[in-house]
Structure 1
Amino acid sequence: MPLLLRLHSIQILITIISVHILNIALIDPRRFLSFMPSISNTSYVTYIKGTIPLLISVPHGGHLHPDSIPDRPAKNGTNTRNDLYTQEIGIDIAQMIAERWEGAVPYVVICRLRRKKVDVNREVSEARKDKEVLKAWEEYHSFLSDANREEVSVRALYRHSRYISRFLALLIYRKIDYPNAIHPPSLTQQYFHTWMSQGHGHPENLLELGYGLTAATLSLSNHDLDADPTIAMNSTISTLSHRHPHLAFSSLLRGPHSLAAHLELPSIPSPNFSSPTKNQTYFRGGYSVRRYGGKGRGIDAVQVEIPRALRWEKEERRKMVEDLVAGIGWMLGKYYGVDWMRGRGDDGWRSEKKVTKMKKGLKANL
């Protein structure tokens, strides 16, 4: 009989945000996730209880807009536009993982209200102006907190039968689009470099990874990043850095041991793009990544901002999801004790033959 392992949450929190409003009917996650073990719906939040320590959150992809809740005023830089395809991206990530590793279901938290009604990625002070808005905000963060604290019993998934008080949080946002940006039909690393060399280079097309560090900090050399311990301590992956003192912080941030190094999509910071250019906008991380990541919280958080070129077309979204799943799988195997090759056959996981069809990014881990 396989050993049941009770583990403190080792989770990946993925908050997915993009831009533009699309008049789509409310997406019922159960239509996509019929195999999920448990789905809870409150008035405004859907929570899918997973079987692995991976948490996907979607704060700005909801489609509910009840008249009983006043619209947020679009002034002073307040963004009230709904995020395009964010529910689809989040659910696709969850479904792809569950299909490739049968029984491996991520936790999912979806805010079902439109962004013009509530922004759950802000401080609670704005939400306190309306009781229903406050309820939605509290429900959303309550589910995130509950998943973070939960102890998960999983068969044949982890290498060590001990409590592990750490997890990774990937918060994925939309990247602001610019009118003059030219969007290529594909953004794999090979195509991207060819496309850039032909004079179409736009930094807006890079996947941005935010670790709570400013663009000025990222512009430092690897030597300077590693020489100042306060930089790692103030990042949202300080826990990861603390657990692996034998690895240079710059390597975890943008070197060979980083998430970016195991993505095919061009990203920043990464081995190929170490820091933003002088005129490139870069967002180091918002409320949620700061709330849940780093500074002794036991959570490693990365904010991922997706450019339009990767989320606008269905095929590009599929490629992006595949790439993120590969990177997530590598991170879980490398730093969080997940062993994807254990528990085949009798334990209900897919056969080794099917697993070998995984993306190249997972081959090292498999």
Structure 2
Amino acid sequence: MLILLELCLASYLVCGKTLSCKQILTSTTSLTLPTSTIAPTTEYVEYIPGNINLLISVPHDGTVKLETIPDRTAGIKINGMCNYNTLGINLNAVNPSDICKIVTGRDLYASDIAKTLLQEYQTLSGFTAMPHIVIANLHRTKVDFNRGINEAAQEHPLAETIYKDYHEMIKKVRQTFRGQGLVIDLHGQNHKQNSTELGYLWTKDELDNFDYTSPSSVKGLMKRKGVTAKEIISGFTSLGYMLEEAGYKAVPSNRQINPGSDRYYRGGYITQEYGSRDGGNIDAIQIEVPSEIRYEGGPEVNAKYGRKLAEIIKTFFEHYY
């Protein structure tokens, strides 16, 4: 009962509006909350409340294309800085080297993996533990929640409001954590390598050169547990090792400790902002799921991966947190 009351309080603190504690307590005889129990700060940001210090963020699988928000456009460099207020500027006349490119593609079905992960995590825990989940419903053409606000919302007032809603949600969930915690930023990539890319903020060049001197998004974990970078990326309890053992290619991992000639994403704004690179005990890891798993193999391949990812994250989380 105490855990359920704490869960209600956490939901209230994060959302300001959600199901009442009475509704939560009477809707289930166990700790589990149905996946339909979503308390949005706005209709464009969904929050599924959890009860452990684990948050899954899904910023790029939104489908809503608000006509009141213009599509994001590429920017131009002015005095070396990217400016996205390009109304009236003919970008075709700008030197290509001065163009600030943007990405607007959706991470198809990443949110399906997140919700399968949530259900499986509850089942594996005997319905005693569940992570928090924050999902963006607005399409990336309108707002990119994994970028700084200037590139993400391009000075449009409503876009900025929705962007801030998403990030305030993450911040308030983190504030409910007691002690150390973990943020998983879940994405999808189309690199056609059928490999899950795990981002700890080390760059491709740093990984290729075995240079782990720059602070990572799991710096707090490494310091707290006294583990090395190599243990984090390829040890027996690393995400990479466990994915490989489950039959899924991953990088970095024990099989492929660095990207080499492969394409690789190291971790974006959310991993940088909400991990422990700059201090603290809340870490972050970006997980980039390949298109072969998210949609090319069909719904069952997607769901199977989500279930296995839940098992792997649960093992990782219980070992280190």
TM-score, L = length of structure 2: 0.75
- Alignment partner of 1:166 is 2:180: yes
Match of 1:98 in 2: 122
Matches within 5 A, 1:325-344: 325-336=310-321
Give CA-to-partner distance per residue, 1:286-328, whole Å, 9 cap, x none: 1111111122132221111111111112122122112211111
Match of 1:109 in 2: 134
Please give the secondary structure, in 1, of the residue aligned with 2:164: helix
Asked if 2 retains the 8 angstrom alpha-carbon contact of 1:36 and 1:50, the reply is no
What is the rounded CA distance, in whole Å, between the counterparts of 1:53 and 1:36 in structure 2?
A: 21
Match of 1:262 in 2: 242
What is the rounded CA distance, in whole Å, between the counterparts of 2:311 and 2:117 in structure 1?
A: 10
- Alignment partner of 1:129 is 2:155: yes
What is the rounded CA distance, in whole Å, between the counterparts of 1:206 and 1:131 in structure 2?
A: 38
Amino acid at match of 1:282: Y
Number of equivalences: 264
Match of 2:165 in 1: 139
Give CA-to-partner distance per residue, 1:118-149, whole Å, 9 cap, x none: 11111012325111101100000000000000
Match of 2:85 in 1: none
- Alignment partner of 1:322 is 2:307: yes
Please give the secondary structure, in 2, of the residue aligned with 1:117: coil
Match of 1:354 in 2: none
Match of 1:195 in 2: none
Relative to structure 1, is the Cα distance of residues 98 and 257 closer, same or farther in structure 2, using a 3 angstrom cutoff? closer
- Alignment partner of 1:280 is 2:262: yes
Match of 2:174 in 1: 148
Match of 1:362 in 2: none
Amino acid at match of 2:238: S
Please give the secondary structure, in 2, of the residue aligned with 1:39: coil
Give CA-to-partner distance per residue, 1:322-348, whole Å, 9 cap, x none: 221111111121111xxxxxxxxxxxx
- Contiguous gaps of at least 5 residues in structure 1: 8-32, 152-163, 182-203, 337-366
Offset at residue 53 of structure 1 (A): 2.2
What is the rounded CA distance, in whole Å, between the counterparts of 2:118 and 2:67 in structure 1?
A: 31
TM-score, L = length of structure 1: 0.66
Give CA-to-partner distance per residue, 1:195-226, whole Å, 9 cap, x none: xxxxxxxxx221111111112221235xx65x
Q: 1:210 aligns with which of 168, 186, 199?
A: 199
Q: Pick which of 43-52 and 262-271 moved more.
A: 43-52
What is the rounded CA distance, in whole Å, between the counterparts of 1:216 and 1:237 in structure 2?
A: 18
Cα RMSD, aligned residues only: 2.5
Amino acid at match of 1:237: V
What is the rounded CA distance, in whole Å, between the counterparts of 1:45 and 1:6 in structure 2?
A: 22
Match of 1:18 in 2: none
- Contiguous gaps of at least 5 residues in structure 2: 8-32, 76-99
What is the rounded CA distance, in whole Å, between the counterparts of 1:173 and 1:261 in structure 2?
A: 19
Relative to structure 1, is the Cα distance of residues 297 and 318 closer, same or farther in structure 2, using a 3 angstrom cutoff? same
Offset at residue 3 of structure 1 (A): 8.8
Please give the secondary structure, in 1, of the residue aligned with 2:43: coil
Please give the secondary structure, in 2, of the residue aligned with 1:205: coil
Matches within 5 A, 1:12-91: 34=34, 39-73=39-73, 76-91=100-115
Amino acid at match of 1:57: S
Offset at residue 54 of structure 1 (A): 2.2
What is the rounded CA distance, in whole Å, between the counterparts of 1:3 and 1:323 in structure 2?
A: 26
What is the rounded CA distance, in whole Å, between the counterparts of 2:2 and 2:61 in structure 1?
A: 39
What is the rounded CA distance, in whole Å, between the counterparts of 1:90 and 1:2 in structure 2?
A: 27
Relative to structure 1, is the Cα distance of residues 116 and 242 closer, same or farther in structure 2, using a 3 angstrom cutoff? same
Give CA-to-partner distance per residue, 1:17-51, whole Å, 9 cap, x none: xxxxxxxxxxxxxxxx7366662341321122222
Matches within 5 A, 1:228-247: 230-231=213-214, 234-245=215-226, 247=227
